[in-house]
Amino acid sequence: MEKKIIRVGSVGLGGIWNGVHQPGIDRSPDLELTAICDIDEKKLNETGERLGIDPAHRFLDYHDLINCPDVDAVDICTPNDVHFPVAMAAVEAGKPYDVEKPVTMTAEEADILAKATEEKGLPNMVCFSYRFKAAARFAKDLIARGKIGQVYHVDMQYFQAWGLPRAECPLVWRYVKKHTGSGALGDLGCHALDLVRFVLDKEYTRVVGHTGTYVNERKLLDGSGTGPVDVDDFCNYMADMEDGVSASFQITRFAFGRGNYQRMEIYGSEGAIVYSLDAHQGVDDEIEVCSGDINAEAHAYTSLHIPEYYYSDQMQSFADIVNGKWDGKAARIQDGQANQHVVDAILESAESGGWVSL
């Protein structure tokens, strides 16, 4: 496909769009923001004025944005329950799309979206953003090159603190099942599942999960009282993967003192790798390695410098996909589909109390 400037229409102008998508679109020489959509008319117009988007390209209905002739590709940053209908509308219009995670509310929806996308042959990307961390890509390469031998165990943590009572977070959509599907699992756990699958390049074969909720009511956004929380505040789960790899996960929004903390420990027959995110103030992602007899006997892990080669950008990757230059590392709809099947299996396991095969 010939390289071109891609005119992007963004649906959903919330935190993830303002913090990640819009800055990424601005950075890319191949993307141009031409249209925006949000159900909050005040936010829509304020954003339009701030970014210089003319009123004719500000939409309250996502169908109007998708059908706009000045939109080449659709950027989907809505709450989870809207991912599927917006992405399907983009597919029906024959337009490439990127979509936030989890891709859909259920595995059944993910199957429908994946099939429709494949049948149209549309470029697409699922925003599993930690695939773009240089330390994760470096770890993936080291494992693929056999530097730690046969992988036996993976332990993955993803901790945030904004769910704690002291944070006084109200009943935002992430605490309402009809909008989000699941809580910490769908918000953080699906990232953790994808990151482990990405770094190891192995599929999950069965899972067992445990979920719980600490704060059962939160203040309503309009201040009129409180409403029920009907999703998980934490989710711990174990998984078997291909080739006998055993994985464990701890996911919570109740980790005191944490911001956006991740730690993945990978243990193999000839070495070990530790990937971390937001572990030290002023440092983003890091990688430590233990390899060789001397280091093994001394229990010595060494922090590695990450070569420039491993650095990448999420929205530029979307531009590259649309322009026919996929690097094989950014997630696509098939990855989101596989992820949603695992999420559903973990929720099923949490209900039944037993292992669920995939």
Domain membership of residue 86 (yes or no) is yes
Same domain, 239 and 107: no
Burial class (CB in 10 A: 0-12, 13-18, 19+), 65: buried
Same domain, 87 and 234: no
**309 CB contacts (<8 Å, ≥6 apart)?**
none
Give 2's DSSP letter. -
pLDDT of 4: 81
CATH number for the domain that contains residue 182 = 3.30.360.10
DSSP 54-88: -GGGEESSHHHHHT-TT-SEEEE-S-HHHHHHHHH
Domain membership of residue 333 (yes or no) is no
pLDDT of 274: 98
Mean pLDDT for all residues in the chain: 97
pLDDT category at 2 given cuts 50, 70, 90 is low
Distance between CA atoms of residues 191 and 135, nearest Å: 15
280 close to 257: Cβ distance less than 8 angstroms: no
Same domain, 227 and 168: yes
Same domain, 269 and 180: yes
Domain membership of residue 110 (yes or no) is yes
Question: If residue 194 lies in a helix (H) or strand (E), which one and from where to where?
Answer: helix 190-200
Same domain, 31 and 95: yes
pLDDT of 3: 61
Domain membership of residue 289 (yes or no) is yes
Same domain, 181 and 55: no
Domain membership of residue 233 (yes or no) is yes
pLDDT tens-digit map of 310-342: 999 999 999 999 999 999 999 999 999 999 999
Phi then psi dihedrals of residue 227, to 5 deg: -135, 160
163 close to 254: Cβ distance less than 8 angstroms: yes
Same domain, 224 and 139: yes
First to last CA, the chain: 36
Domain membership of residue 255 (yes or no) is yes
Domain membership of residue 11 (yes or no) is yes
231 close to 257: Cβ distance less than 8 angstroms: no
CATH number for the domain that contains residue 17 = 3.40.50.720
Domain membership of residue 245 (yes or no) is yes
Q: What is the mean pLDDT of residues 262-281?
A: 97
Residues in the chain: 358
Q: What are the DSSP E strand ranges found in 230-358?
A: 234-241, 246-252, 261-268, 271-277, 285-291, 302-303, 356-357
Same domain, 109 and 211: no
pTM metric for this prediction: 0.97
Same domain, 138 and 114: no
Phi then psi dihedrals of residue 59, to 5 deg: -125, 140
Domain of residue 193: give its range: 133-311+340-357
Tell me how many domains the chain contains: 2
Task: Please say if the pLDDT value at position 28 is more than 60.
Answer: yes
Same domain, 75 and 165: no
Task: Please say if the pLDDT value at position 1 is more than 50.
Answer: no
Same domain, 178 and 155: yes
Same domain, 104 and 213: no
Task: Please say if the pLDDT value at position 191 is more than 90.
Answer: yes
Q: What is the mean pLDDT of residues 163-185?
A: 98
